[in-house]
Structure 1
Amino acid sequence: MGKRIGLFFGSFNPVHVGHLIIANYMAHYTTLDEVWFVVSPQNPFKTKKSLANMYDRLEMVNLAIKDSDRLRASDIEFSLPQPSYTIDTLVYLKERYPDHDFVLIMGEDNLAGFQKWKNADIILRDYNILVYPRPSYKAGELIAHPAVTRTDTPQMELSSTAIRKAIQAGQSVQFMTPDTVIDFIEKKGLYSR
């Protein structure tokens, strides 16, 4: 029996409560059955040096969602050619899981620049996109596209960058990310230098 799977792409460097709230909202308040956190090995637009090891980032997602029955962590892009483009991942997932219906999850900020993506027109033709609002961002004209649905996901002004900076400065990040993730970061010495 096929499921509707929401694909939430990101570096998750580290995963935080903002990501978790978005994923949980999408899994419970939309037509999706599950949400998969697709951990990116390397975003074509980000430099590699600021990224924690991809297996550490995957493990932090697994630790953060271990109590959820509708959220999954996916390392699907780890084995695909680098840098990974969303269209290639979608085609690969469709071949591997032909019964599932895959839906993209993205923020308004990403939707605004979506036309620059590789094969954006094909993605819009073949896939639905669930958009979550981002404070101080405009979604642009694509928000009116029939493949795009804007959701009422709660908004949060929290970023992985802010968490990394706080850790570097020796400040508390309690409640910004689950305790299991904080323990893992401390044990591994991530982001502290």
Structure 2
Amino acid sequence: MATRKIGLFFGSFNPVHVGHMILANFMATKTEMTEVWMVVSPQNPFKERASLARDHDRLHLVELAIGDTPNLKASNVEFTMPKPSYTIDTLAVLRDKYPDREFALIMGTDNLATLHKWKNHDIILRDYDIHVYNRPGYEPGDLATHGRVTIYDAPLMHLSATYIRKTLKEGLSARYLVPDAVAREIEASGLYAK
């Protein structure tokens, strides 16, 4: 049986929006990866925690966004790991837990350009493929030609979770900015309203 190739799409997903879903679907359907796991990060080492919604709320929204899409999955693997979580540590946990799967990273050109600052970035580059989507205004840097790196012109939206949170705080609807099921849950729960 062929090894299942899993793309790991890390993010705060605070909240998950249609731009995230378009990228996840692109990577799951237009590349060699058979699935994309959307890894909800409790705390990115480079981001402030204050503006984050609760971990399980963000995970639930990702699950709602995915719905019954067969090649997408929400992952809470980092929830029980020491904080802040580092990608290399998450990869080690996943490799131990799923030895029959081959994992790859999904990131934007902005992250690729700063990958040299990541913990054990040399091991990541040695052991894992990296699937990169072009982000306007960001140069991929020296790693663009690395043998483990593939760059894609994926469809992108100029949309941010920060913009959506601001919209919700103003009492406005996030309809069309987030998947319908996510919009309904945010409205019903009042998440991000205050």
TM-score (norm 1): 0.97
Tell me which residue corresponds to 1:125: 126
Whole-angstrom distance in 2 between the partners of 1:41 and 1:91? 17
User: Does the 8 A contact of 1:135 with 1:157 survive in 2?
Assistant: no
- Comparing 167-176 with 11-20, greater Cα deviation is found at 167-176
Moved more, 180-189 or 126-135: 180-189
In the TM superposition, what is the alpha-carbon distance from 1:168 to its structure 2 partner?
A: 0.9
Q: Say whether residues 1:147 and 2:133 are aligned partners.
A: no
* Count of equivalent residues: 193
User: Residue in 2 aligned with 1:79?
Assistant: 80
Alignment map for 1:55-94 (pairs within 5 Å): 55-94=56-95
Q: Please tell me the residue identity of whatever aligns with 2:39.
A: V
Which residue in the other structure is 1:136 paired with?
A: 137
- C-alpha contact (below 8 Å) 1:4/1:100 kept by paired residues: yes
The structural deviation recorded for 1:161 is 0.5
C-alpha displacement of 1:162: 0.6
Instruction: State the shift of 1:131 in Å.
Output: 0.1
Question: CA offsets per residue over residues 114-146 of structure 1, 9 Å max, x none?
Answer: 100000000000000000111211111111111
In the alignment, the residues of structure 2 paired with residue 112 and residue 18 of structure 1 have an alpha-carbon distance, to the nearest angstrom, of 21
What are the ranges of 5 or more consecutive residues in structure 2 without an aligned counterpart? none
Secondary structure of 1:18's counterpart equals helix
Q: Distance in 2 between matches of 1:47 and 1:24?
A: 28
The amino acid that maps onto 2:157 is: M
Contact 1:131-1:150 at 8 Å conserved across structures: yes
Question: Which deviations, in whole Å up to 9, do the C-alpha atoms of 1:86-135 show, x marking residues without a partner?
Answer: 00000110011001000000001111111000000000000000001112
Distance in 2 of aligned mates of 1:136 and 1:172: 29
What TM-score do the two structures reach when normalised by structure 2? 0.97
- 1:16-55 matches, within 5 Å, as 16-55=17-56
Point out the more displaced range, 66-75 or 165-174. Answer: 165-174
Mapped to 2, the partners of 1:162 and 1:137 lie a distance apart of 20
Matches of 1:151 and 1:122, distance apart in 2? 23
Question: Hey, what does 1:113 align to over in structure 2?
Answer: 114
Residue in 2 that maps onto 1:159: 160
**Partner SS state of residue 48, structure 1:** coil
Counterpart amino acid of residue 55 in structure 1: H
Q: Quote how far apart the aligned CAs of 1:152 are.
A: 2.1
Q: Which residue of 1 aligns with 2:16?
A: 15
Superposition RMSD in Å: 0.9
Structure 1's unaligned 5+ residue stretches are none
Q: Distance in 1 between matches of 2:96 and 2:168?
A: 41
Q: Which deviates more, 21-30 or 176-185?
A: 176-185
